[in-house]
Chain A
Amino acid sequence: MGLNMPTKKKTIDASALVRIQKENFSIEEMVSLVKSTSKGIGAVVVFLGAGRDVSKGETITMLDFEHYPGMAEKKLRGIRERAIANFNIIEMAMVHRFGPIEIGENIVLIVAASAHRNDAFMACEWAITELKRITPIWKREMTAKGDVWVSETP
């Protein structure tokens, strides 16, 4: 066995690692799940998107997310596959919620795991940007002036 022989990776069903769901998710559980795939993981980077109470100067009271069932999941699975193929990472998990979301609640989670931190940082940043770019998910913000569908992504 060579010195740089990669540690064996345990395959976990993609449906556990890539999810679009109404209910909240546990960051701890998703990180544990990703870490369980390989003992070669030495760095885990987590991106958590949460419901913010202000947008363009308006106070937001609540959020509501709509997605294209089927297509949104397919796009997220594709992003995970491309992240694993194009970055030097071992595993990635992605979870996005839909339906009503209160201010401060979790919206989206990306977990990227690699041997060394830089690969996980880069893959995580790329994945959330790609998610915003190509995944059919839409946010509606409830403000005192009414409901607004958000049509631009910063």
Chain B
Amino acid sequence: MIIVRFFAMLKGIAKAETKEYVVNGPITVAELKAMLKKDFPGLAPALDGRSVLISVNQEFASKDSVVKDGDEVGLLPPFSGG
């Protein structure tokens, strides 16, 4: 199972804090994004834009990064700490 965690305004758009996916084998971040867009159409503009970063197991990832069973994926809108 892959667990996707939503943060800040994305949590409000998805109306969820997490989403779990059961996968048969490794997938790419791009493939996971497509699944998320299908399940959460409201997230599509954020996922298609360049401002939302993706993390895999708490490290920044790219669209080609591999996600596999047991991984934790974060959808990270622009940071505003400090």
A: which residues have CB within 8 A of B?
Answer: 49, 65-68, 70-72, 74, 96, 107-108, 128, 131-140, 149-153
Alpha-carbon separation in the docked complex, A74 to B80 (Å): 17
Beta-carbon contact of B7 and A153 below 8 Å: no
Beta-carbon contact of A66 and B82 below 8 Å: no
Q: Which of A74, A96, A151 contacts B81 (CB 8 A)?
A: A96
In whole Å, how far is B80's beta carbon from the nearest beta carbon of chain A?
4
Beta-carbon contact of B80 and A139 below 8 Å: yes
Beta-carbon contact of B55 and A71 below 8 Å: yes
Task: Provide the B47-61 mask, 1 if CB < 8 A to any CB of A, else 0.
Answer: 000010001001010
Lowest 6 CB-CB distances: which A-B pairs, in order?
A: A137-B81, A138-B8, A71-B58, A150-B80, A149-B9, A139-B80
Other than the given A108-B82, A138-B81, A149-B8, 6 more pairs (CB < 8 A) read A70-B58, A132-B81, A133-B79, A149-B77, A151-B9, A153-B78
Beta-carbon contact of A66 and B79 below 8 Å: no
In the complex, which of the residues B7, B12, B79 has the most CB atoms of chain A within 10 Å of its own CB atom?
B79
B78 to chain A: which residues have CB within 8 Å?
Answer: 151-153
In the complex, which of the residues B60, B76, B81 has the most CB atoms of chain A within 10 Å of its own CB atom?
B81
Beta-carbon contact of B79 and A49 below 8 Å: no
In whole Å, how far is A90's beta carbon from the nearest beta carbon of chain B?
23
B: which residues have CB within 8 A of A?
Answer: 5, 7-9, 12, 51, 55, 58, 60, 74, 76-82
B55 to chain A: which residues have CB within 8 Å?
Answer: 68, 71, 136
Alpha-carbon separation in the docked complex, A67 to B7 (Å): 8
A72 to chain B: which residues have CB within 8 Å?
Answer: 81
Known: A68-B76, A151-B51. A137 touches B58 (CB 8 A): no
B5 to chain A: which residues have CB within 8 Å?
Answer: 68
Q: Which of B51, B58, B60, B80 contacts A138 (CB 8 A)?
A: B80
Beta-carbon contact of B74 and A128 below 8 Å: no
Known: A140-B8, A149-B9. A134 touches B74 (CB 8 A): no
B60 to chain A: which residues have CB within 8 Å?
Answer: 134
